[in-house]
């Protein structure tokens, strides 16, 4: 692609991990994982995927774009629902194959298609409580997905 944002070639572990050049790595499926958190509450909202185009658009426009693995399409999050995710900060990990995006969300603040704020709305019992049921940590949906 010949878009504005320039990526550097990956040359060494030192360059990728210790340097200041953006040299991202997309997997065999062309995708990079993106952890999206609410910049205000620090809650993890979702784990998305970005192809190179979505990654570029996210950085260039400052609004989260993903690649939907289910639908195999580029996806400008919130364009139909109004719940656009505005990027506050983007961070890349040591080997530059994962993104952490801190966002602000307009409207109800929901990010999950099921209707909750976060996709991670259920806690899994662990330690001594293994084998108990999942418990809901959000007490109500922020919107009715059927109505929307």
Q: Which residues bind its own copies (CB under 8 A)?
A: 4-6, 17-22, 33, 35, 37, 42-44, 46-47, 58-62, 87, 89-94, 98-100, 112-114, 116, 119-127, 130-131, 133-137
Q: Could you tell me the sign of the dihedral formed by the alpha carbons of 7, 8, 12, 15, in that order?
A: negative
CB of 66 to its own copies, least distance (A): 14
CB of 99 to its own copies, least distance (A): 7
Alpha helical stretches, state H, 45-99 = 52-61
Instruction: Characterize the bridge pairing of strands 98-105 and 122-123.
Output: unpaired
Compare residues 137 and 148 and give the one whose CB is closer to its own copies.
137
Compare residues 26 and 121 and give the one whose CB is closer to its own copies.
121
Q: Could you tell me the sign of the dihedral formed by the alpha carbons of 77, 78, 81, 83, in that order?
A: positive
Task: Mention every residue, 6+ apart, whose C-beta is less than 8 A from residue 82.
Answer: 106, 107
CB of 19 to its own copies, least distance (A): 7
Compare residues 74 and 97 and give the one whose CB is closer to its own copies.
97
Tokens 């909750």, located at residue: 116
Compare residues 79 and 134 and give the one whose CB is closer to its own copies.
134
CB of 12 to its own copies, least distance (A): 14
**Farthest-apart Cα atoms in the chain, separation:** 54
């Amino acid at each position: 692609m010949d878009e504005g944002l320039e990526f550097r070639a990956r040359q060494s572990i030192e360059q990728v991990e210790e340097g200041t050049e953006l040299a991202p790595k997309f997997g065999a499926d062309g995708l990079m994982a993106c952890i999206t958190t609410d910049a205000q509450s620090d809650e993890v909202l979702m784990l998305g995927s970005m192809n190179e185009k979505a990654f570029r658009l996210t950085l260039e426009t400052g609004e989260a774009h993903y690649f939907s693995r289910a639908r195999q399409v580029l996806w400008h999050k919130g364009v139909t629902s109004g719940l656009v995710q505005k990027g506050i900060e983007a961070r890349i990990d040591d080997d530059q194959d994962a993104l952490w995006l801190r966002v602000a969300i307009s409207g109800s603040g929901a990010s999950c298609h099921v209707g909750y704020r976060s996709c991670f709305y259920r806690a899994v019992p662990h330690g001594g409580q293994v084998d108990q049921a999942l418990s809901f940590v959000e007490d109500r949906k922020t919107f009715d997905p059927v109505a929307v």
